[in-house]
Chains A and B, each alone.
Chain A
Amino acid sequence: MYTNEMMESIRKVEAARAKNLELEPRRMTAEEKDTLLKTYHPDYKEGEFAVLQVGPNRGEKVPTELAALLQANSRIAPAQVDLEHPAYDVDVLIIGGGGAGTSAAIEADKAGAKVMIVTKLRMGDANTMMAEGGIQAADKPNDSPAIHYLDAFGGGHFAAKPELLYKLVTEAPEAIAWLNDLGVEFDKEPDGTMITTHGGGTSRKRMHAAKDYSGAEIMRTLRDEVLNRQIPVVDFTAAIELVLDENGRAAGAVLMNMETQELMVARAKTVVIATGGAGRLHYQGFPTSNHYGATADGLVLAYRAGAKLLYPDTLQYHPTGAAFPEQIFGALVTEKVRSLGAKLINVDGEAFMHPLETRDVSAASIIRECTTRGKGVRTSQGLGVWLDTPMIERKGGEGTIERRIPAMLRMFGKYDIDIRKQPILVYPTLHYQNGGIDISKDCQSGVENLFVAGEAVGGIHGRNRLMGNSLLDIIVFGRTAGKSAAAKAQAVQEGQLTLSHVDAFARQLEQAGIHSDLVSPKLLPDYRRVK
C-alpha cells in the first residue's frame, strides 16, 4: 500500500524502533511551547481571520469562514413565516441530537417537561459518535478534581471560565456513574477498577474508555434511552432560525424539513442549542475529523438572536488525522494510540517530541516538522509524520491493539495497512471548536430562556481542550441544560412569537454595508465536484 519512498522511510523507523521505544523525549518548557504555538499553530496565522462588523461580538476576530456565515442572510423572509399556527408546541425544544442534546432530553424528560428533539440528520449523527479515545474523570485514589482542574486550566492556557471548569471537573465522576448506570460499558479490570490511561496534558491517568468506540458506546446508549422514554425526535429537520417572544426571550424555532424544504414552527417555553461544532467549514483548508453536519449552525442562530460568543477564534487541530491513504484523509486517529505507547517519528526515524504534549502543541510541532524542518513524509495530499503503532504491541504485549483500539485496526486494515506491523502517517486535522456561545453555569446564554450545551458552548476549556474533556462536557453540561431548561419552562409565561430580530439583524448588515450572497445556517457542506 505504501509508496517506495514511504517504504524507504519505514525502514529507518524500524531500524530506530528499539531505541525510540526506550527513549522518553523531554517535555517542552512553557516558553518553548509558547514560541512554537505562535509560529506554527493555525490559530495564530494572520490573514485567516476577519473582524465582525455587526452583532454582539462586533470588533472581535473569528475565522474568515465563520465570519461569512455569521454575517450572511437568513434562509427565511420573516413576514412569510406563519407564527400563528405552530406545528409543535412543547416545554423544552432541543436542537441537535448528539450527546449533549440527548443528555439534555433525558434529564428534561425526567423532570417532567414535555420535550422534543429536532435534528437535521438522524439522532446520533454527531461528533459524539466518533469520539474514540475516552472520557476524563478524577476517580482514582491518586487523583482529585483539583488536579483535573489544574491540568485542564493550564492546557487551555488559563482562559477557561473558572465556574464552568469547576463544574466540569467536580461533576465528572458522577457523569461516569450516570453513564454506567444507564448501561454504558467501560473497560474495567476483573475487580471493577476502571482501566484508565493518560491523554495529552494529563498529569494523572484518568481517561476512561470503551475500547476506541468510547463515544459510539455512549451515543448509542443515550439514543436507546431517548427511544425508551419515547421522547419525540423529529429527524431530518433543521432549525434555521430561533423564534423569540416580544420581550426578546427564546420561544421556539423555525424548522425546515431537509428533504422537502417545508417550513414549520415549533413553539417552546425554553430552547436548548446542542448543535455541536464546525469542522465541516474546513477552516484554513484543513481536512476534518468531524461528522457531516458540523457546520456551526447553533452559533449562527444564537448570534442572530443576540447571544454573545466566547473564544470563537480558537479551534482545535487534532495532531493525528490520517494523512494516508487518501480515502481516509483527515479521519481521526485517536490520541489513545499515543496513550498506549506509540510515538511520533519523522521521515528519518527520529522521535521528535514527547507524544503526550497537549493537542495544540503536538499539532504545531508536527506542522513544524513538516515545514521548516523539512522532516515530513510526502503523501498525495501533502505531508505527514509517522505514528509508530507497532510500538504498542512491543510495550503492551501482542494483542493490545486488537483489544484496545479495534476501530483503528479496522480503519487501516481496509486499506491493507496492518497497524500492528507497520506505522501510519498522520497530520493535523480540524477537530474541535474550542469557543462557542457564552453561558452561565446553569447553561443559559445571553438570551433568556436559551440554553446551550456541548461543543456549541465556549469557555469550558479555554483556548485549547484536553482529550477526554469533551465527552465529559456533553454529559455534564447536557444534563445541566436539560434540568435548567425544564425548571425554567415551569415559570415561563407564554408571549407573542416574533422574528423581528431577524429583520433587525438584516438592517444592521445593511447599515454596515455588508452585502452577502450567502445564506446561513449552512446545514450541510457541499462536496459535489465543481465542473
Chain B
Amino acid sequence: MKYNVRAGESEFEVEVDREGAIRLAGAPLDADLQPSADPTLYSLILEHRSYELRIEPCEGGYRVRIDGATYDVAVEDERARLLAGVKSLTAGGDSGELAIKSPMPGLVIDVAVNVGDVVEAGQTLIVVESMKMHNEFKAPRAGTVRALRVERGAKVAQNTILLTLA
C-alpha cells in the first residue's frame, strides 16, 4: 500500500508492501516501529537512529511529538486521495456570514455590542472568561452584528457560536 504523507512542509511517499518491507520515495528503508503499553508511546529505529515518539490520532491524521516538537501529519492512501478529490468538487461556497465561535468553554462576562451594530475590524465584541483569563473576541473584519447567540453571564461550551457578523 502506498501512502502520501504530509508532515510540516514536506511530502513523502511511503510504501509498505505485503511482506512488510518499507520504501521511502521508492528506496528501501530499514525502519522498526515498536508500540508500548502506554498507548501513545512509540520507539522508532530508522537506519539505526533511535527516536522516542508520542503519536495520537487527530483530525485528518496523526499528531506526532518528538523532542518537544509537534507535527500534525496527514496520511492519505490512494483510495482516500481519490475520494478527497471528489469531495472538493462538490463543496459549497462561502455564505458571506461569519460566525464567531468560542474555542474553549467559559463564562461570558461582557457583551459589548447589540444586534444591528456596525462594527470595525478589531473592535471588541464579547469577553469570555476561561481559566481565570479574560479572552476578548474581536471582529476579524468590519461588518454588522447579525445575531447574538449568548448573553452576559452565560456559560458556553467549546465551539459555541457567540455571534454572527454579516
- Same complex for A and B? Answer no
Interface residues of A (CB under 8 A from B): none
Q: Give chain B's interface residues, CB within 8 Å of chain A.
A: none
